[in-house]
Amino acid sequence: MNLLIGSLSMGFLLSLLTLGVFITFRVMGRLDLTTDGSFGLGAAVAAALLASGVHPLLATVAAAAAGWLAGATTGLIYVVLGIDTLLAGILVTTGLYTIQLRTMGGGNRSLSATRTLPEVAEDAWRALRLPETVTLGETSVAASLFSALLVCVLFVLFSIWVLARFLRTDLGLAMRAAGGNPQAARALGLDTGVMTTLGLVLANGLVALAGALFAQYQGFADVSMGIGMIVTGLACLVLGEGLLGKGTLRRQIVGTLTGTIAFRLLVAAAVRAGLPADTLKLATALFVLAALGVPAVLTRMRGRMDRTPADLSRFRQRIDRIPADR
């Protein structure tokens, strides 16, 4: 049961990462490699601020703001210098490695001696005189585990609520339009460069928030913890889409949460089933490959494709077959 609660907490907080990947990959139609850097950056900023005695809540928000800056940097490189976001993201992530080292004053930082957000939640739990253990079915769960889960749930539900509302405003809609069809968006008066940057800012804020919560949850920050996070985020995203489909915006947003939790539960189940720890990386990589590959194969078999380049070229061929009327 403890493992389950742990997986749930991890699933909730990492769903912020998935939400970030959803914004860049699905809404803006771009693969943003800044994700790896801003996840680590969020963890590093939170760790450094916590160590200097800043309140955990403030440190967490500051970490998200650092993610906004990382996203804005990638966006500006793209808009001002005209370098594609893919390369811009790689450059920013590479640069951020040094910034993380400097921020933390080393390759990793333990948070065992500092007060973190889960501990704040635990104190609040005690202050409210809630029971020391929560009984779920036949097992009992320590209050600390449960309050940590609640913190993650609160952060995630709040972020999802804000994001879902934002995407329905005029500005949010403009951003989705710019990501969906840049040519049409420009013809409708939208500055697609600014909109892309906005998407990157929002996404990387969420990713850095995930990094900050992740570090506090596991009790340490490490400079390498962001490596491969874009792939994990993608896997959770695609898994969620496989489970819930991508019919509506609401479905997609709920899907990021569902997919991430399902992914974490799968990992936990694999570990429980006796998967040796040293094969976890390979297993994750294979799972990611399957998660990304299988739905694509399935949709192709179902022949129910969104507008892909292949679709468009078929469409053009159809146009060419229509005789000119002159």
Chain positions contacting other proteins, by CB under 8 A: 166, 168-174, 176-177, 180-181, 183-192, 306-307, 312, 315-316, 319, 322, 324-326
Q: CB of 309: closest distance to other proteins in angstroms?
A: 12
Q: Helices marked H in 52-142 — which ranges?
A: 56-81, 85-104, 117-127
Q: CA-to-CA distance for 230 and 237, rounded, in angstroms?
A: 10
Instruction: Tokens for 306, please give them.
Output: 């969104």
Q: CB of 97: closest distance to other proteins in angstroms?
A: 35
Instruction: Give the nearer residue to other proteins in terms of CB position, either 55 or 250.
Output: 250
Contacts of 313 (CB under 8 A, 6+ apart): none
Q: CB of 65: closest distance to other proteins in angstroms?
A: 19
Q: CB of 169: closest distance to other proteins in angstroms?
A: 5
H or E element: which one contains 25? none
Instruction: Give the nearer residue to other proteins in terms of CB position, either 185 or 239.
Output: 185
Q: How many CA atoms lie within 13 A of 124 on its CB side?
A: 12
Contacts of 99 (CB under 8 A, 6+ apart): 41, 44
The amino acid occupying position 61 is: V
Instruction: Give the nearer residue to other proteins in terms of CB position, either 66 or 202.
Output: 202
The pair phi, psi for residue 109, each rounded to 5°, is -150, 125
Instruction: Give the nearer residue to other proteins in terms of CB position, either 99 or 175.
Output: 175
Q: CB of 312: closest distance to other proteins in angstroms?
A: 7
Instruction: Tokens for 146, please give them.
Output: 């449960």
The residue with tokens 């840049």 is 182
Q: CB of 52: closest distance to other proteins in angstroms?
A: 34
303: three-class secondary structure by DSSP: coil
Instruction: Give the nearer residue to other proteins in terms of CB position, either 272 or 307.
Output: 307
The DSSP code for 220 is: E
Instruction: Give the nearer residue to other proteins in terms of CB position, either 172 or 226.
Output: 172
Q: CB of 154: closest distance to other proteins in angstroms?
A: 23
Label residue 276 left, alpha or beta by phi (over 0 means left) and psi (-120 to 50 means alpha): beta
Contacts of 83 (CB under 8 A, 6+ apart): 77, 91
Q: CB of 248: closest distance to other proteins in angstroms?
A: 9
Distance, C-alpha 223 to centroid of its chain: 18
Instruction: Give the nearer residue to other proteins in terms of CB position, either 172 or 255.
Output: 172
Q: CA-to-CA distance for 123 and 143, rounded, in angstroms?
A: 10
The amino acid occupying position 316 is: R
Instruction: Give the nearer residue to other proteins in terms of CB position, either 189 or 274.
Output: 189
Instruction: Give the nearer residue to other proteins in terms of CB position, either 124 or 305.
Output: 305
Q: CB of 32: closest distance to other proteins in angstroms?
A: 18
Q: CA-to-CA distance for 271 and 118, rounded, in angstroms?
A: 24
Instruction: Tokens for 46, please give them.
Output: 């939170």
